[in-house]
Structure 1
Amino acid sequence: MDIETTRSGGLRQVLLNRPKALNALTHEMVRDLDAALHAWEDDDAVEAVLISGAGERGLCAGGDIRAIYHDIPRGGAATAAFWRDEYRLNAHIARYGKPYVALMDGLVMGGGVGVSAHGGVRVVTERTRLAMPETAIGLAPDVGGTYLLSRAPGEIGLHLALTGASIGAGDAIACGLADHFVLSADLSVFRQAIVERGVAEALETYARTAPEGTLEAQRAWIDVCYAAENVAQIVEHLLEIGDSVAKEAAEQIAGRSPTALKVTLAAVRRAGLLGSLEEVLDQEYRVSCRALRHPDLREGIRAQVIDKDRTPRWAVAASPEEVEAFFAPLGDGEPGLF
């Protein structure tokens, strides 16, 4: 089973169980998780839900992008259906009526952020590496990622969205992507404490001060550079600022899909103006469905995952009109989410 559920007193535990695939989410896993959450939501015997990942490498590396690669030549309908259910699951997690504890240990990327960072109790460890790396495969951040990143301090969220850079526990908490820090060695006893004493007392016992992050100290150049009007100007400012980390960010951006970068810039800024997570998820669904029809998505997956040559041949950057088309309402055959 790719999703395993267990009962310990009033706690229901969900294990993402595809360790060889870094617990990447399949459509069946999304449906099974959502069904379990619905079943437990009105069950008075259930006091809290906890989600974690099998193996030693992380909670979840995202969606099954190999499946997306093979689905695109068939028209992408299966991928659009997967995203529809996944994004609805993200909204369900955000509105869940009971404590939803996410153990964000190890790698937490893409869809892994979606099943954790919308939860009410988000726990990171010294092993946490969190990222939204979608621009590297020709996609914009999704699963509510643009909602979360648009609400990070200053322009940090846009920096993370465009570069796809990974962050540790301290920065995840400072950016509003996590809440509590627990040592990875304490996770087992932390779980047992939830069973015996409840979430609040378990956190009181085992939560510690997270190691200090690095992004806040970089705000001086991040906020200036990423306030630029377009991606080209952002890169220009990053190169001119005279900081080695800023130069590295410029180099990371230069390797991403030019179209995905433009769409991501617009998506994060628009998400900051939308009022609810559901509105942002609807926007992300439109953008993701349009990305299925753009050559960069399949090419990015090919270069990063299929052939692993890390040399994608990106299409020419989209024009302003083409970027705007990513956000246009979908047709009758592609219903919205909510």
Structure 2
Amino acid sequence: MSIADSDEAPVLLRHYGRVGHIVLNRPRAINALNHAMVRLMDDALAGWEGDDAVGVVVVTGAGERGLCAGGDIRSIHDDIRAGGGAASLAFWRDEYRLNARIARFPKPYVAVMDGIVMGGGVGVSAHGSVRIVTERSRIAMPETGIGFVPDVGGTYLLSRAPGELGTHLALTGSAVGAGDAVLCGLADHYVPSELLAEFTEALGGADVSEVVAEYATAAPEGELAAHRAWIDACYAADSVEEIVEQLFASGDHAAKEAAETILSKSPTSLKVTLAALRRARALASLEQVLDQEYRVSATALTAPDMVEGIRAQVVDKTRDPHWSPAELSQVSDAEVARHFAPRVGDELGLAAGPGPRRT
């Protein structure tokens, strides 16, 4: 029996009808991803890609709280402190390759984005071909709050959201519900949570599009559409400082709250995130963006804010990170540019082709 066949495994693999069902199975951690989970998912998809008995892949999360709360950031914190981040780099290499595999998977990949879906959880769902949200969905890329930068293809997705909605979500780290997830291009269809069991079961015996048409309904109206005027105007500015200034000057209470939220995040992360989004808009493929994100993520391991942010939010839970540097004005252009520099002998290389199989 393989690890993925055991009910104690971090990833459960099930097969019914023509469905290959992946269940993320760390419910006490809201199914936070670790390296073993990424490898198990990748192996399953690699096997099912050429398996005629599997016509559709479904991904869900165990428990009632969410699909996936992101990567296991406590382990990243410990890895940086103990070993300089080598294990985290290996995790990201495989995770980003998994994100690319999901986006290019040749069969329907149905991601059930119920409950909390953040960070790495977005990476294993929002690149799928059929993305389902419910009234319980809360979707976010909250990396700037832990001294990191949106990854797992997040800058690709957010850079392609309408107007400046993606910039707003990336800098503030705000979570959105079903309606706004659809508006921002992070999800496709809304299915009430009470119908999810029927929905996933029906996928085993019918065409995916027919099942979606039967169970999906209009998503509840979101909040972002009403704020498009100030979001698109303010976030189009050329720097984070200008964005914050325009948000405060807009006269809108929600814009002022957004500015205050941004100022609570890591100044370095904010500036690198804005640069990453603007660069991602000019890149043609997800693979190119993932290559860029690997450079950024690897460089973030060498800066102080990531360890400090995870400490404050997750380890000590003091919620009082001491960023270094502490002010936006203190983050130099050279420091931002450093995050995008090529890594000699350590590039992800997805845009150049599939590359060697992981070991």
Smaller-chain TM-score range?
Answer: over 0.9
Whole-Å Cα distance in 1 between the matches of residues 205 and 335 of structure 2? 55
Whole-Å Cα distance in 2 between the matches of residues 292 and 270 of structure 1? 21
Letter in structure 2 aligned against 1:145: G
Q: Give the aligned partner of residue 296 of structure 1.
A: 305
Aligned with 2:204: secondary structure?
helix
Letter in structure 2 aligned against 1:327: F
Q: Give the aligned partner of residue 40 of structure 1.
A: 48
Displacement of 1:202 after TM fit? 1.0
Query: Are 2:37 and 1:24 aligned?
Result: no
Aligned residues: 337
Letter in structure 1 aligned against 2:31: N
Q: 1:259 aligns with which of 252, 255, 268?
A: 268
1:161-187 CA-partner distances (Å, limit 9, x unpaired): 000000000010011110000000000
Query: Are 2:280 and 1:271 aligned?
Result: yes
Higher alpha-carbon deviation: 188-197 or 302-311: 188-197
Whole-Å Cα distance in 2 between the matches of residues 331 and 139 of structure 1? 22
Whole-Å Cα distance in 1 between the matches of residues 294 and 36 of structure 2? 19
Query: Are 2:155 and 1:143 aligned?
Result: no
Displacement of 1:148 after TM fit? 0.2
TM-score, scaled relative to structure 1: 0.99
Structure 1: tracts of 5 or more residues without a match: none
* Aligned residues of 1:84 and 1:337 also touching (Cα < 8 A): no
Letter in structure 2 aligned against 1:64: D
Extract structure 1 runs of 4+ deviating beyond 6 A: none
Displacement of 1:213 after TM fit? 1.1
Displacement of 1:279 after TM fit? 0.2
Structure 2: tracts of 5 or more residues without a match: 1-8, 351-359
1:92-126 CA-partner distances (Å, limit 9, x unpaired): 00000000000000000000000000000000001
Whole-Å Cα distance in 1 between the matches of residues 74 and 191 of structure 2? 33
Q: Give the aligned partner of residue 157 of structure 1.
A: 166
Q: Give the aligned partner of residue 173 of structure 1.
A: 182
Whole-Å Cα distance in 2 between the matches of residues 6 and 30 of structure 1? 17
Whole-Å Cα distance in 2 between the matches of residues 6 and 88 of structure 1? 23
Whole-Å Cα distance in 1 between the matches of residues 127 and 185 of structure 2? 10
* Aligned residues of 2:291 and 2:347 also touching (Cα < 8 A): no
Q: Give the aligned partner of residue 197 of structure 1.
A: 206
1:61-104 CA-partner distances (Å, limit 9, x unpaired): 00000110011021111000000000000000000000000000
Whole-Å Cα distance in 2 between the matches of residues 246 and 19 of structure 1? 35
* Aligned residues of 1:193 and 1:201 also touching (Cα < 8 A): no
Whole-Å Cα distance in 1 between the matches of residues 103 and 42 of structure 2? 12
Displacement of 1:196 after TM fit? 2.1
Letter in structure 1 aligned against 2:122: V
TM-score, scaled relative to structure 2: 0.93
Q: Give the aligned partner of residue 5 of structure 2.
A: none
Higher alpha-carbon deviation: 94-103 or 211-220: 211-220
Q: 1:86 aligns with which of 95, 115, 122?
A: 95
* Aligned residues of 1:47 and 1:99 also touching (Cα < 8 A): yes
Whole-Å Cα distance in 1 between the matches of residues 229 and 33 of structure 2? 37
* Aligned residues of 1:88 and 1:337 also touching (Cα < 8 A): no
Whole-Å Cα distance in 2 between the matches of residues 185 and 291 of structure 1? 41
Aligned with 2:279: secondary structure?
helix
Aligned with 1:50: secondary structure?
strand
Aligned with 1:154: secondary structure?
coil
Whole-Å Cα distance in 2 between the matches of residues 173 and 254 of structure 1? 27
Aligned with 2:290: secondary structure?
helix
Displacement of 1:12 after TM fit? 0.8
Q: Give the aligned partner of residue 282 of structure 1.
A: 291
Query: Are 2:336 and 1:323 aligned?
Result: yes
Q: In angstroms, what is the RMSD of aligned CA positions? A: 0.7
Displacement of 1:337 after TM fit? 3.4
Q: 2:252 aligns with which of 243, 249, 253?
A: 243
